[in-house]
Amino acid sequence: MAGAVNPDTEARAMFFMITPNESSFQKVEDVPQYVQQATPFFVGLIVLELVVGFLKTGAPVVTLSDGLTSVSAGMISRIPLLFMRGCELTAYMFVWDRYRLLELPWDSAWTWWIAFLCVDFCYYWVHRLAHEVSFMWAAHQVHHSSEYYNLTTALRQSLTQQFTSWIFYLPMALIAPPAVFAVHIQLNFLYQFWIHTELIKNLGPLEWVLNTPTHHKVHHGRNSYCIDKNYGGILIIWDRLFGTFAAEKDKVVFGLVSPINTFEILYVQLHYYLYLGRRSTTFNTISDKCLTFINGPSWKPGKPRLGDHLDNPKLTGQEVPHDPSWSLPLQMYVIIHFLLALGTYQDAFDNKMTLSQFNMLGMTGYVLLTLTSMGFLIDQRPRAAVLEMLRCVLMVTMQRYGYMKPLLPTLAVTTQAFVSLSLLYWALRSFSQMFSIRKKTD
């Protein structure tokens, strides 16, 4: 069983300020769940950024709609871990058990530092190809879909990227023990959280070696000078070596080249796969259809493998992020139901070893339906009322059979009443809409 990490060690781990002695383990089972145990620090730093950002600028650094979408994406990206071990670690252990050529000592500081460099080098290539190969970009574009740049953006992760990224770490499995890899794959991920902020400016000499907020800010830009630059994880030296480095110049405009303008989470996660499928049908030859998925996102027949950016929308620097107006009562409603779903989500992870597959699927389905319905409400879709009514029916059922807990034990009765009133409200809204539609057609 993975060990617990004391708060001081966890805090330092987020900034890679951790020593080999305190993070070397012989068995994978002994490696702490650094990412999972860092949740309080994620929340704390996000709140701190909100406060400091408001004090400095007089405006929030994140909108509720965008922040909830980012956190929802992060939640969805971890759902596969409820049913299986991570792809990267599973594949790594398979290769290590059968094909390793050398077994570096797990308790050596040299092994620890070699693994650090190797994981970061492999991440550079995972990240670079996720931008240069269209079917991989279909997964990674989720992380770039926010038009804001803040700590919640770091949580906007892809559900599907983990199913291809594992390939790039397999060469390490020929020499480095799985427990060492399991430590560094988490530390690499943790480090990249804090660099998603505009509040931290130039860090002086550290900018030459480390990936910093200013470097990663460029990576998230859709300006022509920002696209496909600064792929590094912890170190920026790989970008300097391989010619993919760019320093910040003009004002950075964040997000995808073509903003998607929606907060529907499943669309955010999967829309680019559908786009690639449609795009491939516009080409005549089999080779061009296949190259649609393998070449760069901006590739077209007759252009280089990575295409060019001549057809990209021209930026003026006055672009305004998509931020639909929605009422304060609806915002409060969404926050409460999101927190209820978050409680079920955390309960599933806490008890995944004891819950049956049926119960796990039911809880997962409820979380996915909730996050989807929240997106419909934020987007103010015409079918949002019907979807929310059906979701509330599911909530009442889960409450009836004890599969959904209140936010606090003392709020059990209040939560039940709130859910029942929510169902009644959306049922009335749905029937009212159906009646209005029928009246118009008569």
Q: What would the pLDDT profile of 342-390 be if each residue is shown by its tens digit?
A: 999 998 888 888 888 888 888 899 999 999 999 999 999 989 999 999 9
Q: Which residues pair with 221 in a beta bridge?
A: 254
Q: Output the pLDDT for position 75.
A: 95
By the 8 A CB rule, do 344 and 404 touch? Answer: yes
Q: Which amino acid makes up residue 350?
A: D
Tell me the pLDDT band of 125, cut-offs 50, 70 and 90.
very high
The pTM of this model reads 0.92
Domain limits of the chain? 7-242, 329-441
If we measure between CA atoms, which residue out of 256, 259, 189, 192 comes closest to residue 227? Answer: 256
How many other C-beta atoms can be found within 10 angstroms of the C-beta atom of residue 243?
Answer: 7
Q: What is the pLDDT of residue 438?
A: 64
Query: What is each CA distance from 82 to 115, 161, 354, 363, in whole angstroms?
Result: 27, 17, 11, 11
Average pLDDT over residues 104-133: 96
Rounded Cα gap, residues 109 and 182, in angstroms: 16
Question: What span, in angstroms and rounded, lies between the C-alpha atoms of 337 and 242?
Answer: 47
Tokens matching residue 254: 């964040």
How far is the first Cα of the chain from the last one, in angstroms, to the nearest whole number?
65
Q: What is the secondary structure of 144-208 as a DSSP string? A: H--SS-SHHHHT---SSTHHHHGGGGGGGGGTS-HHHHHHHHHHHHHHHHHTS-SSS---GGGGG
Angstrom CA distances, 385 to 203, 265, 388, 435, stand at: 49, 17, 5, 13
Residue with tokens 């305190």: 22
* Per-residue pLDDT reduced to its tens digit, 6-47: 778 888 888 999 999 999 999 999 999 999 889 889 999 999
Q: Is the CA virtual torsion 384, 390, 393, 398 positive or negative?
A: negative
d(CA 373, CA 428): 17
pLDDT at 415: 85
262-280 pLDDT per residue, tens: 999 999 999 999 999 999 9
